[in-house]
Amino acid sequence: MTPLRPLVAALVFLAAVPLRGQDPPPWPVLKPATATAPLPGTEPLTETGDLSRLLHEANDRFLDREIERAAKEREKFWKRDLSSPEAYAKSVQPNRESLARMLGIDREKRAEPIDDPYAFAPFPLMANPWGDKDGLIYQLRLKAFGQVHADGVLLSPGDPRADVVYLPDADDAELIPVGAAALARSGCRVAVVRLVDRGLDEHQLSRREWIQRPAFLLGRTLVGYELLKAFAAIDYLQASQGEAKRPLGIVGHGEGGRLALFAAALDERIDAALVSGALGPRERLWREPADRNVFGLLREFGDAELASLVAPRALVIEHGTEPAYGYRAAADLELDLENRGKVPGKPGRLPSPSDAEVAAELARLGSLLPFAKPDLVKSDVPLSEEAVSRFLGRFGMEARPREEAAGIPLPAHPDRTNELVLHNRLALIEAAGDRKRYFADLKTDSLENFKATIEPYREKFRTEVIGDFERPLLPANVRTRPYQVGDKTLSYEVLLDVMESGGEKVIAYGILTLPKDLDLFSGERRPVVVCQHGLEGTPQDVIGEAKHNAYAAFATRLAERGFITFAPQNGYKYFDLFRLQQFKAQSIGKTLFSIIIPQHRQITDWLAAQPFVDPDRIAFYGLSYGGKSAMRIPPLVERYCLSICSADFNEWVWKNAATDTESLRYSYANKGEYEIFEWNLGGTCNYAEMAALICPRPFMVERGHFDGVAPDEQVAFEFAKVRNLYEAKLGLFDRCEIGWFVGPHSIHGQATYAFLHHHLDWPEPKE
């Protein structure tokens, strides 16, 4: 075999010779290349600076353009029939159902309103409230769903003329808010339903994010949970009306205002809604607190679209009363970004839209629905007299003058998180059954039937779990430059164009390492191993001294064994920068991997086109977050002929959603990786199911016994399901392995190297 003479001649290689009496270092000694000629068939790479940073910043701009595009294309999800109110309500019913699915409401069985779910006791707060000798205040406790209750108070005047559900802001510290008292004084029976507050728990997470994290992974949201509580109150108010048939309204401020808008959009029993301090442009949802995250919301709904679902019913908007709140925010509520936070949650703040922004959103509503005529009230006081008066006017009622007294302070109240924590735990237990039902159409009686029936699940994984921007790949426009030279290897930096949106390009970047004994012009085609770094990593981490303890320079070591390797940059570096990109993506029904997968398609297409690469022998091998990548990328990148998941494989749904004391040692539920939670994996794909999407291609797990990612038993439990599929059901006895070793969270490089040599049909080096 002729060496790489045309290229090596242009490179200055300084061999590393250890000093006499010293052992060589355990990592490959790599020296900077001095040549400048690009890899044959590519253009020179001239970009300078931190190319990993360049990639992440390009991803960020691309996502901004995609959020803008989603807003412009929102109308394709709507088929409004404006011929009559009845026709309109029927035409938007699919949108109501879509919204309910996004919020996870469809996952819960609501309590029957006629069963005995109510535990009332007179609440002796004051005599003759509002000067009404027949008025009473009750403690309110309603069964909402599962074993979760709605709690608060019921304000009951002697002769009510309307029923109202009142949703205060999450941090409202009044047992009887002033606005609720004003409604009751004016003749409304008011059910005040309390929300989970934003206080910090023992993990220094807001209590709202603590509930949202596992719920989101299990196909639910805190918004959905609290809406179900509001619906339970509506059920009660309606069931207890008797023959009165009073009109029904919903009123909310701040967090409660946002919920009131959702509730009125979803529940046509609501005759009128008052939304205070909550309506505005929603395209920066990613900057709001984590508990407001709704997967795919902005693809179909902004606030104008939500308001359009309320029409033709009455809607009053009060602006100027938005609560001020931020997590990981300065006193002026500017978010503390890109620095590793002292607390583990997502930075976020409540929006404070300007007058012009609110007016623009309402103008957009008018363009969508000419007959939608909401009232707009500007106020700096929540539930102002004018706002309440306009709301009551929709019922033909007048607001009574208010008393000067403030709302009644909230005494010690029950912890509203406990029931929801327990509900999440029950949902985690039931998730395994959900996944079985999800995969009910998969046939494993023969390999042929498996191949035919697994394909629709790959498509669902692409569109519903990962999310696909469906942007065409650009011409790769590959740019390269020599990077480093080792004893047996030489490498190139590689930059490729991937896709674009609104003029903003996504790029791919990585390091190609070639064995020196490969002649690029001989016609020989060798296998490639794509070597993927982990969290906060770079391609440089997997090739040499940097982070050698974890990566063992496996991209270079494999090249020394005769493989071609490519180490890509994946988009999970720079802490808050990439984590907030996950929230940008999720707001439009996408994920970080919606960008990463097209990058790998472009990389593997380019590799496959090289005259020295065998296009049928391109493997994937990733550590840690790279192991997470090994479960998500190969199912959707057909050119990967096998996948190795190192230092990540485990019972992934448990690792994300478990909140019991023992599991929290391993669980992400209380950790700083606030982006890690993916929508409804619990009901779709755990790691065994992702491995099924890789099958029948070879699949391997590399597992150190002392890897803190999970205990051995959770790894073995999940892998047993994979082996059962490969070997017991499909008879693929040589394509599924797990390599255990005594060690930590790292590349071991023994059983996995043998696996690569076997399945890539490349001889192992002679010792």
The H or E element spanning position 620 is strand 613-623
Mean pLDDT, rounded, of the chain: 93
pLDDT digits 0-9 by tens, 704-763 = 999 999 999 999 999 999 999 999 999 999 999 999 999 999 999 999 999 999 999 999
Dihedrals phi, psi of 348, to nearest 5 degrees = -170, 155
Q: In the chain, which residues fall in CATH 3.40.50.1820? A: 5-64+439-759, 82-429
Report the pLDDT value the prediction gives residue 411, as an integer from 0 to 100.
Answer: 57
Which parts of 246-303 are beta strand (E)? Answer: 248-253, 272-276
User: Does the structure show a pLDDT above 60 at 2?
Assistant: no
Question: How many Å separate Cα 210 from the centre of its chain?
Answer: 15
Q: Are 693 and 685 in contact (CB under 8 A)?
A: yes
* Per-residue pLDDT tens digits for 49-97: 999 999 999 999 999 999 999 999 999 999 999 999 999 999 999 999 9
| Predicted local distance difference test score (pLDDT) of residue 766 | 87
Q: Which fold has domain 82-429?
A: Rossmann fold (3.40.50)
Q: 137-158: per-residue pLDDT in tens?
A: 888 889 999 999 999 999 999 8
Residue 98 has which token pair? 């879509």
Task: Check whether 17 has a pLDDT greater than 50.
Answer: no
pLDDT greater than 90 at residue 600? yes
Cα 39 to the center of its chain, rounded Å:
38
Cα 344 versus chain centre, distance:
16
Residues 395/404, Cβ–Cβ less than 8 Å: no
- Local confidence band at 129 (pLDDT 50, 70, 90 cut-offs): low
Burial class (CB in 10 A: 0-12, 13-18, 19+), 456: exposed
Q: What is the band of 338 on the pLDDT scale with cuts at 50, 70, 90?
A: confident
Residue 176 has pLDDT above 90, yes or no: no
Whole-prediction pTM value? Answer: 0.95
Q: What percent of the chain has pLDDT over 90?
A: 86
CA-angle at 387, arms to 381 and 393, nearest 5°: 160
| pLDDT (tens digit per residue) in 224-265 | 999 999 999 999 999 998 888 999 999 999 999 999 999 999
| 3-state DSSP percent of the chain in helix, strand and coil, to 5 | 40, 20, 45
CB 544 within 8 A of CB 556: yes
Q: What is the CATH number of domain 5-64+439-759?
A: 3.40.50.1820
The pLDDT confidence band at residue 113, using thresholds 50, 70 and 90, is: low
Residue 623's identity, in one-letter code, is L
Distance (Å, rounded) from C-alpha 276 to C-alpha 130?
23
pLDDT single digits (tens) 512-558: 999 999 999 999 999 999 999 999 999 999 999 989 999 999 999 99
Question: How crowded is residue 269: how many other Cβ atoms within 10 Å of its Cβ?
Answer: 15
Q: CA end-to-end span of the chain, whole Å?
A: 20
Give the whole-angstrom CA distance, residue 222 versus residue 297.
14
pLDDT value for 503: 98
